[in-house]
Amino acid sequence: MEKRKLKKPVFYGLCVTTLAILLGALYYVDNSNNSLQQPQEQDYKYVSRLFEDETQAVVNTQTLVMRPYNNADVKALQNFYDYKGKETDQERSIINYETTYIQNNGVAYGGLSDTFDVVSILDGTVTSIKDDKLLGKVVTIDHGNNIISSYQSLSEVLVKENDKVTQGMAIGKAGQSNINKNLGNHVLFELNIDGQYVNPENCYDKAVDQLKSN
């Protein structure tokens, strides 16, 4: 039988074809491995996110309500009028202005010969600033969650309407009012929750979700 030799062009063509097949096979195997690995990486990231979210959820980040001042020498001068309170306490919560008796909706804090900083009890937005003839300068702050605080009898205001304030930020200076001149430098602080005035003394050092209107 006569042996035939492959011509060089045919031989080179077979080599190129074989090499192309091998490269194609390697490319296919590499892509297949990447496809198999990708879902595992995504699953790992997904599980990590679940773990992180669960960790954050158990941390208590609620802020406690603070007093509207940061001077330890400040004290309560006139209390909140409590309809359910004792008669003697109610008498001390009445504002006497030109033969008119007014029930106090807040607590007056002062007792210092000089003025002092008045601070925001929580984060919030300044919704109103007024200069009232009887109450002096008044700043109102909306803290969300149906919680509104009012700071009256201020001699100086340090914020503007629509300002964002943080807890403990100075919003003004204690001053005097025409409706309660005998108190000297003070701030009359009112707290309204769910549309009702509440006794601020019952709200300090409590988280927002613990506040109850009464």
Angle at Cα 202 formed by Cα 212 and Cα 195, nearest 5°? 40
Name the token pair of 57.
Answer: 């959820």
More confident: 146 or 59: 146
- Provide the pLDDT for residue 181: 83
More confident: 73 or 20: 73
Burial readout 109-131 (b: 16 or more C-beta within 10 A, e: otherwise) = bbbbeebbbbbbbbebebeebee
Residues 59-71 pLDDT 10s: 233 789 999 999 9
Residues 120-139 pLDDT 10s: 999 999 999 999 998 999 99
- pLDDT over 80 (residue 15): no
Instruction: From residue 20, give the alpha-carbon distance in Å to each of 12, 26, 50.
Output: 12, 10, 46
Cα–Cα distance for residue pair 160/176, rounded to 1 Å: 20
Other Cβ atoms within 10 Å of 48 Cβ, number: 10
Domain boundaries, the chain: 1-59, 75-210
- pLDDT over 50 (residue 161): yes
At 40, the pLDDT band (50, 70, 90 cuts) reads very low
- Provide the pLDDT for residue 46: 40
Q: Helix, strand or coil for residue 83?
A: coil
More confident: 8 or 110: 110
CATH class given for the domain over 75-210? mainly beta
Alpha helices in 58-146 (DSSP H): 87-91
In the chain, the percentage of residues whose pLDDT exceeds 90 is: 49
Give me the mean pLDDT over the 5-29 stretch. 57
Model confidence pTM above 0.85:
no
Which of 8-22, 85-99, 159-173 is the least confident region? 8-22
> For 120, phi and psi rounded to 5 degrees?
-75, 135
